[in-house]
Chains A and B, each alone.
Chain A
């Protein structure tokens, strides 16, 4: 009881802080200088139509690299954690076989979902979406497959290779930016292309593709690790 009261009091205090923030908040009437810069210069700087994508991949590319790394890291740690527990997991009761509907449906859906994922990350610089979204969609295909056939063996090797190769390529592109263009992760190492077309915006589509693959692989890896615990 005391514990709840303390928790309540503490959160009430935090709530007061938030209240003060809330009261003091006023939406900007116009874009602030950073946003203004992006609005005015994204096209010339990067050639991307999706400003958010430009910010993510180029201007704040280092964040995104870190973000990808977070997933990589989590995948690695989750694998470590779960593998470490192998000895403890005793035999599990068998499962009900999955239904025919799911089987057939997934055969149809998995390629479509994967294709959609690829579309999303390849068009990230033009339309809403991008590498993360695309990657997540690809991973959902994976999830579907796992649901269909929990016993199925996936190639860890393939996933790991995809994950690593795309990661390495990402870093390599970043370094290439330093060598060939204005700095680390500068997207102008590739031609800017025509604004609005798929092969434009320099390295952004390439990076997004790598991110998409990597994220997809990492999510898959995490899902796989978790599901293998269930076997």
Chain B
């Protein structure tokens, strides 16, 4: 189960990156990165998963005294939350860039953004 999730995550990263580095259209490229980001998040969550345990929320189901034996690792979950938000921010920024590039250059083809080189 964990392994499957992990593998899926890695696969998503590779898939997303493949899109991101082969597609010329900026929007598709951004979608590629989004997929890769998702894969990354999946990997992170999987790493924190302990088989047979429950979410790290205390209460009636998991009294604080037995928490150590019942819950999964809360840290990756916290990290993933942060990572998701950051990924969102970057995606928004890239989209804004894409829009602006389209507005000024009239193209969404990344290979036509080669004015700066060498």
Q: Which residues of A contact B (CB under 8 A)?
A: 3-4, 7-8, 10-11, 14-15, 18-19, 21-22, 25, 27-32, 34-36, 38-40, 42-43, 49-52, 55-56, 60, 63-64, 66-67, 70-71, 73-74, 77-78, 81-82, 84-85, 88-89, 126-128, 130, 132, 195-196, 222, 225-226, 229
Contacts and interface: CB of A to CB of B under 8 A. Distances in A.
Interface residues of B, number: 47
A52 B74 contact: yes
A49 B89 contact: no
A124 B3 CA distance: 30
A81 B96 contact: yes
A152 to B, nearest CB: 21
A108 B104 CA distance: 41
Contact of B99 (A11, A19, A29, A229): A229
Main secondary structure of the interface of B (DSSP, over half): helix
A71 B89 CA distance: 6
A31 B50 contact: yes
Interface of B: 2-3, 6-7, 10, 13-14, 17-18, 21-22, 47, 49-51, 55-59, 64, 67-69, 71, 73-75, 77-79, 81-82, 85-86, 88-90, 92-93, 95-97, 99-100, 103-104
7 contacts: A18-B14, A35-B75, A52-B57, A60-B79, A71-B88, A81-B100, A130-B81
A50 B50 CA distance: 18
CB-CB nearest 6 A-B residue pairs: A74-B89, A51-B56, A18-B10, A81-B96, A55-B78, A39-B67
B85 A71 contact: yes
A8 to B, nearest CB: 8
